[in-house]
């Protein structure tokens, strides 16, 4: 028997900067991937080309970072390495971009860092720009998965951050399904921030990876919602389960910095949510996206009541500027629910 369920809404975790940095590694599902385990599609030559490019960069990054002399820093000369400080993998979902990114991280010398774009912006928000630049400038490589610009503030923030890191000799690698010069389109007036966007783009050698996009195959089927009583019973019976009302949970998320959402799930083995409802507030929806990512990273099953998960985001949201984020969150939440709600 599991006993009394955990209430996420009763938790207010404090996360130290050291913990935030120490957790910047590939999620468990990518801990074992390597270049050797990537299988390029023979019908998509861009996949093999991207693999070859990443392997070559990995050979350079396997060497420890050499500190630049005072003279070279004063002259502004670049450290030895690739012509551009970053490699940018563009392509649809399910073509192996994250596999390649994590493989590059695994072969590279320490110190190195791996995070999603959201985690990077949250990290800068938690540390402050100056402290973040000081901490991250020591890294040999920073890998950024799911690179995306959601608002003008992010554009300016990341433009400043990456510019300073590149100047310090940090190598970058990123994945996205949006070309660097198209970042931000559909979310804000990107034309007003063209200089920052072009500055970001200039740091990267862009490699397109073609292949079938999972969106063409549609989302997995959401399981039928359970009753409130069944969710509560499951939370009581399964060790390490949480159980919270949907409204209480998203109100609680609004009071926490998103960098703490991972710590919120410490020790949780199943997440139970009561009375899931359709979301009408984009801010609430985006917080749920971050929580879904942290649950997915940790492979935490979900049990839920209320409306089916595939109706949580409105049709307008699924057609809007954050469409890709919501589709990714739905795919992940449905996968976690199919595990949690068929393992009864």
Task: Give the residues of the chain that fall short of pLDDT 70.
Answer: 1-2, 66-83, 149-153, 177-200, 212-219, 343-344
Residue 103: count other Cβ atoms within 10 Å of its Cβ: 23
Contact 8, 260 (CB under 8 A): no
pLDDT at position 195: 55
pTM of the model: 0.79
Residue 256: count other Cβ atoms within 10 Å of its Cβ: 18
Residue 129: count other Cβ atoms within 10 Å of its Cβ: 13
Nearest to 281 by CA among 242, 239, 253: 253
Nearest to 144 by CA among 131, 161, 130: 161
Query: Where do the domains of the chain lie?
Result: 32-212, 218-340
Q: How far apart are CA 268 and CA 1, in angstroms?
A: 15
Nearest to 6 by CA among 304, 236, 227: 236
Q: How far apart are CA 181 and CA 200, in angstroms?
A: 8
Q: How far apart are CA 95 and CA 344, in angstroms?
A: 33
pLDDT at position 193: 41
Q: Render pLDDT for 98-140 as a digit per residue (tens, 0 to 9).
A: 999 999 999 999 999 999 888 898 889 888 999 999 999 999 9
Q: Render pLDDT for 269-288 as a digit per residue (tens, 0 to 9).
A: 999 999 999 999 999 999 99
pLDDT at position 177: 66
Class of CATH domain 32-212? alpha beta
Residues 267/273/278/282 CA torsion (nearest 10 deg): -20
């Amino acid at each position: 028997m599991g006993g009394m369920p955990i209430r996420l809404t009763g938790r207010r975790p404090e996360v130290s900067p050291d913990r935030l940095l120490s957790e910047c590694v590939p999620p468990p599902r990518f801990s074992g991937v390597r270049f050797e385990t990537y299988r390029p599609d023979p019908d998509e030559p861009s996949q093999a080309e991207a693999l070859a490019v990443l392997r070559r960069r990995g050979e350079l990054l396997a060497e420890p970072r050499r500190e630049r002399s005072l003279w070279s820093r004063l002259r502004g000369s670049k450290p030895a390495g690739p012509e551009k400080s970053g490699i940018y993998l563009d392509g649809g979902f399910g073509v192996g971009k994250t596999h390649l990114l994590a493989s590059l991280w695994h072969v590279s010398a320490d110190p190195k860092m791996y995070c999603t774009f959201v985690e990077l912006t949250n990290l800068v928000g938690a540390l402050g720009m100056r402290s973040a630049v000081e901490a991250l400038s020591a890294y040999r490589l920073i890998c950024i998965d799911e690179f995306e610009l959601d608002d003008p503030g992010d554009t300016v923030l990341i433009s400043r951050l990456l510019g300073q890191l590149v100047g310090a000799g940090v190598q970058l690698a990123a994945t996205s399904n949006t070309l660097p010069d198209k970042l931000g389109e559909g979310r804000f007036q990107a034309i007003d921030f063209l200089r920052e966007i072009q500055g970001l783009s200039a740091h990267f050698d862009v490699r397109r990876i073609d292949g079938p996009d999972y969106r063409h195959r549609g989302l997995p089927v959401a399981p039928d919602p359970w009753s409130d009583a069944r969710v509560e019973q499951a939370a009581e019976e399964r060790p390490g389960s949480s159980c919270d009302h949907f409204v209480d949970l998203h109100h609680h998320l609004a009071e926490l910095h998103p960098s703490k959402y991972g710590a919120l799930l410490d020790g949780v083995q199943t997440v139970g949510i009561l009375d899931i409802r359709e979301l009408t507030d984009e801010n609430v929806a985006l917080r749920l996206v971050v929580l879904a990512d942290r649950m997915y990273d940790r492979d935490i099953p979900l049990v839920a009541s209320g409306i089916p998960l595939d109706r949580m985001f409105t049709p307008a949201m699924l057609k809007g500027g954050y469409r890709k984020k919501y589709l990714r969150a739905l795919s992940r939440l449905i996968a976690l629910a199919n595990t949690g709600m068929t393992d009864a």
